[in-house]
Chains A and B, each alone.
Chain A
Amino acid sequence: EPEVTQTPSHQVTQMGQEVILRCVPISNHLYFYWYRQILGQKVEFLVSFYNNEISEKSEIFDDQFSVERPDGSNFTLKIRSTKLEDSAMYFCASGGQGRTDTQYFGPGTRLTVL
C-alpha cells in the first residue's frame, strides 16, 4: 500500500540554523500539507499546497517557513532560522480526492533545536 515517507526521522540543529525537512507524498496525490505537533500538544496545521502554490497557511507559518515541490516527487519544508520553539514533530500529509477529504500522514520528523 502506498504511503507518505519523511526524512530524516530525527533532526538536531543549532538555533539560527536552516533546516529542510523532506517528504515524498503518495504518487498520484495532488494536495500536500505540513503539520507540527509540539510535545504533548495538539497537531497544528501549518500549510497546504496545491497546483504548485500555497493554498492556505496558518498564523504559525510565518516568513521563516517556506515550502517547495522541487520535482515531481519531493515536498519540502524549510525553516530559515530555527528557534528553540520550533522543536516539534513535523508531519507531512498528502491527499488526492479534494481539499477536505482524507489526508494520509507520514511518520514525522522530530526536530530538536538546541
Chain B
Amino acid sequence: SQQGEEDPQALSIQEGENATMNCSYKTSINNLQWYRQNSGRGLVHLILIRSNEREKHSGRLRVTLDTSKKSSSLLITASRAADTASYFCASFPQGNMLTFGGGTRLMVKP
C-alpha cells in the first residue's frame, strides 16, 4: 500500500472547466502538500495544508483536507491550457522523507 495515492490517474477537461483531483493517504500527517510537474520538468510547489486546517486557497487553487478520511482534494477553477501538467500530493509518513503519490495527469484542452 502506498502513502499518497491520487485519483483519477488522468483527467481531460475543456478550458474554463474546473478540475478536481483527490489524494488519499494512510498514516497520520503534519501537513500535506501539492506539487505540479510539467512534462519532463521539475516540481513546483503549489500549496501546503496543515493537519489542523480544513481548507486553503491560493489564487485559482482550493485544497481541502479531511484527516478523518485521510484524504485531500485539489480543485483548480476556471482551468487554462497552461494548467496541463501532472499534479502530485506529498506528505511525510515517517521522519522527513517526503513521499509522493503517483500523480494525476491533467490535460486542459483549449
Contacts from A to B (Cβ < 8 Å): 31, 33, 35, 42-45, 48, 55-56, 58, 89, 91, 93, 99-108
Contact = CB atoms under 8 A, between A and B. Distances in A.
Given A42-B102, A42-B103, A100-B30, A108 B96 contact: no
A44 B98 CA distance: 8
Interface in B57-110: 88, 90, 92, 95-103
A101 B48 contact: yes
Nearest to B45: A102
B20 interface: no
A56 B97 contact: yes
B31 A100 contact: yes
Contacts of B40: 89
Contact of B43 (A31, A56, A99, A105): A105
Interface in B7-66: 30-31, 33, 35, 40-45, 48
A43 to B, nearest CB: 4
Main secondary structure of the interface of A (DSSP, over half): strand
8 contacts: A56-B95, A56-B96, A99-B92, A100-B30, A102-B48, A103-B45, A107-B42, A108-B41
A30 to B, nearest CB: 12
**Interface pairs A-B: 7 shortest CB-CB:** A99-B96, A107-B42, A105-B43, A43-B100, A45-B97, A100-B92, A105-B42
A21 to B, nearest CB: 13
Contact of B96 (A35, A55, A106, A107): A55
Contacts of A104: 45
Contacts of B45: 102-105
B103 to A, nearest CB: 7
Indicate the member of B31, B96, B102 with the most A CB atoms within 10 Å.
B96
A91 B43 contact: yes
A48 B42 contact: no
